[in-house]
């Protein structure tokens, strides 16, 4: 567990040496030091990143966890660790078990399991596929709707409410402050964003301190270098926006047709 808890400190150390601040950090005023960088990353970088690549959380909707008032379910924040909900995805049909089979067929989410298909002939499989295509033309797709900060409802085609009892839904949350919820394969872009935000924090707060004197020496902060790093933030955000709707982003449902 200690390794996970140190993820933030490791990132800050990495940013420190990438920005070339190791000789200077000890001379910075405390309010602009490495502890302040952690706050910038948690409250700025992490929130921005989560809006594009959120943490997915399968939340079970029950009368206890999300009391229903009219068509709306009110999610009790105690059940999501008092975290802000950024949005909702699809219903988590995998959590229904056998019950989901009937619901999936009713609402057009049926699938053919490869293992089951082994017991059927090609003609059988083609017939099942044709029936599934026909059923999907007339199925009532369930669409989850979200209203900030904690309200969801289920609607079908025609904008009428749907009631399926207890169910799981994918919530989009801010990533954990420990950074452990960010996949290792997606960490590089987050590190770049955090580095740019820290550089911006230093530029905006220390631009009047460039060349200030300490008991050790006169410190040159090389503000142009920090400004250059801060300037990369815009291109990082552009990258996140361009890849927001992508097959690589599991938070975004896609419909693929051939």
Spell out the domain ranges in the chain: 8-54+177-246, 55-173
Do the Cβ atoms of 69 and 75 come closer than 8 Å?
no
pTM over cut 0.85: no
Mean per-residue pLDDT over the chain, rounded: 79
Name the maximum alpha-carbon separation found in the chain: 85
C-alpha R_g of the chain: 25
| Predicted local confidence at residue 218, as pLDDT | 52
Q: How many CA atoms lie within 13 A of 233 on its CB side?
A: 16
Selection from 132-146, 148-162, 163-177, 216-230 with the highest mean pLDDT: 163-177
The pLDDT tens digits for 77-132 are 888 887 889 999 988 877 765 444 444 444 444 444 444 445 667 776 777 666 66
Extended beta strands in 125-221, E state = 143-147, 151-156, 160-161, 167-173
Average confidence (pLDDT) over 234-256? 70
């Amino acid at each position: 567990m200690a390794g996970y808890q140190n993820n933030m400190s490791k990132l800050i150390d990495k940013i420190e040496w990438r920005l070339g601040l190791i000789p200077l950090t000890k001379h910075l005023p405390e309010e602009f030091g490495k502890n302040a960088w952690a706050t910038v990353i948690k409250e700025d970088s992490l929130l921005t990143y989560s809006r594009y690549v959120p943490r997915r959380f399968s939340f079970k909707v029950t009368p206890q966890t999300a009391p229903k008032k009219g068509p709306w379910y009110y999610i009790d924040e105690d059940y999501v660790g008092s975290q802000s909900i950024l949005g909702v995805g699809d219903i988590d049909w995998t959590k229904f078990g056998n019950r989901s089979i009937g619901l999936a067929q009713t609402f057009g989410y049926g699938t053919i399991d490869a293992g089951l298909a082994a017991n059927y002939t090609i003609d059988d499989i083609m017939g099942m596929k044709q029936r599934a295509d026909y059923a999907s033309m007339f199925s009532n797709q369930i669409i989850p709707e979200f209203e900030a900060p904690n309200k969801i409802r289920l609607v079908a085609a025609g904008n009428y409410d749907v009631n399926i009892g207890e169910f799981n839904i994918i919530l989009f949350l801010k990533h954990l402050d420990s950074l452990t919820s960010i996949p290792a394969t997606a960490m590089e872009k987050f590190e770049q964003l955090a580095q740019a935000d820290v550089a911006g924090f230093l530029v905006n707060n220390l631009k009047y301190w460039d060349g200030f004197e300490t008991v050790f020496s006169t410190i040159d902060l090389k503000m142009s270098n920090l400004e250059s790093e801060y300037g990369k933030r815009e291109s990082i955000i552009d990258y996140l926006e361009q890849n927001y709707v992508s097959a690589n982003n599991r938070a975004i449902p896609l419909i693929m047709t051939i």
